[in-house]
Structure 1
Amino acid sequence: MSQKKSRGGAAAREDADELSRSPLQAVLLADSFTLKFRPITLERPKVLLPLVNVPMIDYTLSWLETEGVEEVFVFCCAHAQQVKEHLEEAGWTGKPAAWEMAVMAVESHDAISAGDALRVMYGRGLINGDFVLISGDTISNMSLKEVLQEHKDRRKKDPLAVMTMIIKHSKPSILMHQTRLGTDEIVMALASETKELLYYEDRADSSHLCVTIDKDILANNPTLQLHNNMEDCYIDICSPDVLSLFTDNFDYQHLRRHFVKGLLVDDIMGYKIYTHEIHSSYAARIDNFRSYDAVSKDIIQRWTYPMVPDVLSFGNCHEMKLHRQGIYKASGMRSCILKREFSKDLFLYLV
C-alpha cells in the first residue's frame, strides 16, 4: 500500500515537473474590438499605427521576447491580412528554430469580442499551461519573473486562483474622474494580505459616485483595501481554466466588465483573481487618442526604456538614433533649419 502511494506521489511530482517545463506562452489580441480609433481603423488595424515611428504591436512583441516568452499566438480579426503581412515583413514569423520566441498568427473573422477570441483559442487547443494575456496596444518594460512565480506558487496552494492582474498607481483627475491616460477611474477592493481582488468597478459603468460592496465581502474580510487610484494595465497571467470559463459562459464578452466582474459575484464555482502591483516599471495600454499622445511622450522621454525607438528596429522602420535634447533622427537623414520670417506686406495682409 505504501509503495503504491509513494509511486503515485512520484508520478504526481513528475507530472508537475513536466508541466513546469512547458513553454511560456502568450495570447496577444491584435484587435481591440472597439471603435475609439475610427475612422483611422477603417482601413488600417490599430496595432499597426505608428507609435514614435514603430508599430504598436512591435513594442508588445519585443517586450514579450525579452521576458522569456517562447510562444506567442497573435489573434487577428479585423484587417487580419495586414497584421499577418507585417509580422512576416518585420521578421516575427518564419524565424529559424534557433530563435527563442515563435510567433504564430491565429485568424478568425467571426469573433466580435475578446470573449469570442478566447473561445476560438480554446477550440484550437493551442494553450498548454499558464499564459500571458495581453493586447497588441500595450507598452511595458516590467519584469514578468516575479509575477509568474507568484502565480505558480499560488496555483499550487489553490487551484481556484485562475488569474493575476497587473496594476499600478495612477493619479485620477478630481474633476473628470479619469486617469492621465484618459481612461475612466476604477474602484478596486483588495484583501490586505493576499491582494485578492474582491471588488472591481469601472466608473464608465456607473452613473453614481457611491460604491456598494456586498456585506459578505466585508464579513469574510475584516480588513480590506479600497482603491480609486489604481490603473489596470491589462496584462494578465492566466491559467488554462480561463479559456474554458469563457467557453462555458457565452455572456462573457469583455475581459473586465463581464469576465472579471462575473467571477467576483459567482459564489458557486469559487474562482479567484489576484493582483500584482508594479512600482518602478512602466506599463500602459493605448486605449484612446489621449493615451496615444501620453504614451508617445513617455517613449520619447525614455520612461519605457529599453522599449524606445533607438533600440527597436524592425522591418521597414528606419534605424533611429538619439541626439541631444531628446531628438531622434533616422540614420541618413539630412538636417534643416526652419526660420520664422514674415514680410511687412504679409503681416499687414494677415492683420
Structure 2
Amino acid sequence: MERRNQTSISEFILLGLSNKPEQERLIFFLFLVMYLITVLWNLLIILAIRTDSYLHTPMYFFLSNLSLIDICFTSSTVPKMLVNYLSGNKAITYTRCLTQIFFFLLFGGTDSVILASMAYDRYVAICAPLHYTMIMTQKVCASLVAVCWTWACIDALIHTASLTRLSFCGHNEIHHFFCELSVVIRLACSDTLLNDLMVYTIGGLTTVMPFIGILISYTRIFIAVLKIPSAHGKKKAFNTCGSHLAVVCLFYGTIIEVYFNPTSTHTAQKDTTSTVMFTIVTPMLNPFIYSLRNNDMKRALRMLFSRKPGLSL
C-alpha cells in the first residue's frame, strides 16, 4: 500500500551554483570561457605531442591521454550546465542523469588511475634509468592505459547499475550543477545501504589505490634523488616530477576535501566549490602546468604554432 502511494519521478532539477539571474549570467560566461580554454589547450597539448617525434616517449604518451581524459571529464558536466543557464530550464531526465553519472565516474576514475601510471613512469625513469626503455615499452604503456579505462569503466558501470534499483519518489532537486552520485543517492526513498557501501568500497578503491601507488612511487623517487651527489642532478630529477606533482596535488587535494572529510564539516556550498575545482579548474590548469614548466613542451608548442599562419606563442 505504501508503494502504491509513491510517485516515481522522471526528472531531476539541477539547482546549479546560484539562483540569482545576475549571478547566473556571470557564472555562464565564466564557465564558458573556462570550458573553451580547457578544450583548446588540452587539444593543443595532444596535437603538439603527436606532431613532434621527439615527444613520442612514454611520459608524453601518458600526458596526451591525460589531456584527452580532461577534455572528456569536463565535457561530461559543463555543457549541460551551460545549456541549463542559457535556456533557463534546469531539468534533466532520469536517463540523462544516470548517463551523466556514468561518464563522470568513467572519466574521473580514468583520470585518477592515469596519474598513478604517470607516477610509475617517473619512478622507473629516475630509479631505474638504465632499464627504462626495456621496462616502459609501447606495449606496457598501452596496457597501462587499457587497464585505466577498463578499471574506471567497471567502476562506473557498477555504480550506475546500482542506481537503477533505487526508487525516487519525493524530492527531485539536486543542489549541484550536475548529477553527482552521492547527492542523487541521498534523494532516494528506498534503502541505499548497498549503494553507500559500494561508494565507500569500490568507489574508494578507484581513488585510494592509485593515490597509494603515487605515494609509494614518489617516496622511492625522493629517496633515490637524495642519493644523487650533485645539486644539478637533484634539481633536474625534481624538475621532471614537478609538473606531475602539481597536477596530483590539485586533483587529489580537492577530492580529499569533498569525499574524505568528516561529514560534520560538509556544506552544500563548500562541497560544490571543491567539486568545481577538480571537475573544471584542474583540467583547465593541467596543460598550463605542463607547458609552462616543461621546455620540451614549450618548444613543441612553438613548432605547432609556427605551422599555422597568423598564430604565435
TM-score (normalised: structure 1): 0.28
Q: 1 or 2 for the larger relative contact order (CA 8 Å, sep ≥6)?
A: 2
Per residue, is there more strand in 1 or in 2? Answer: 1
Instruction: Compare CA radii of gyration and give the structure with the larger one.
Output: 1
More helix by share: 2
TM score, norm. by length of structure 2: 0.30
